[in-house]
Amino acid sequence: MENEQVVVPQPPITAVCPQCHEPILPTYYFCPNCGKNLKEPPLSTSTAAQIGLYALSIIMPVICFLAINQWRGMKYMRSADPKAKQIGIIAAALMAVSTVLVVWVGIIWTEQLISSMTGGLMGAGNLGL
Ligand SMILES: [Zn+2]
């Protein structure tokens, strides 16, 4: 009986985990040794994922519009009562700080995403943050 022994060639190990330096395969999403996230899994292009994204894209501006409409700070700021006016100014200041923070964090995230997409040569550790 002829024994057809097929030797499955082991894929060459071309990379090591940046965290624990164990050899990994370029196809790994997570390091099997330490569990470090090596790369983002591919985005889902399923119908459900598309419907979810499209629905959110439609709903998001509506939610923002309703949230701004519901924000009562403007009424407080226009109030003749100095106490109410002060509350309105504090609320407006908080909203301004929150907006700046969200935009700032968004810019950092975008920069890190771009640097990770361009081969990670300028990784987050080199941004000097
Ligand atoms: Zn590792």
Tens-digit pLDDT profile for residues 43-87:
888 888 888 889 888 888 888 888 878 888 888 988 899 999 999
pTM of the model: 0.40
Spatial neighbors of 123 by CB under 8 A, at least 6 apart, are: 115, 116
Taking the C-alpha atoms of residue 56 and residue 48, their distance in angstroms, rounded to an integer, is: 12
Cα(13) to ligand 1 centroid in Å equals 14
- Other residues' Cβ atoms within 10 Å of the Cβ of residue 64: 10
The closest alpha carbon to 85, from 77, 96, 94, belongs to: 77
Q: How far is the CA of 23 from the centre of ligand 1 (A)?
A: 8
CA terminus-to-terminus distance, the chain: 66
CA–centroid distance, 18 to ligand 1, in Å, is 7
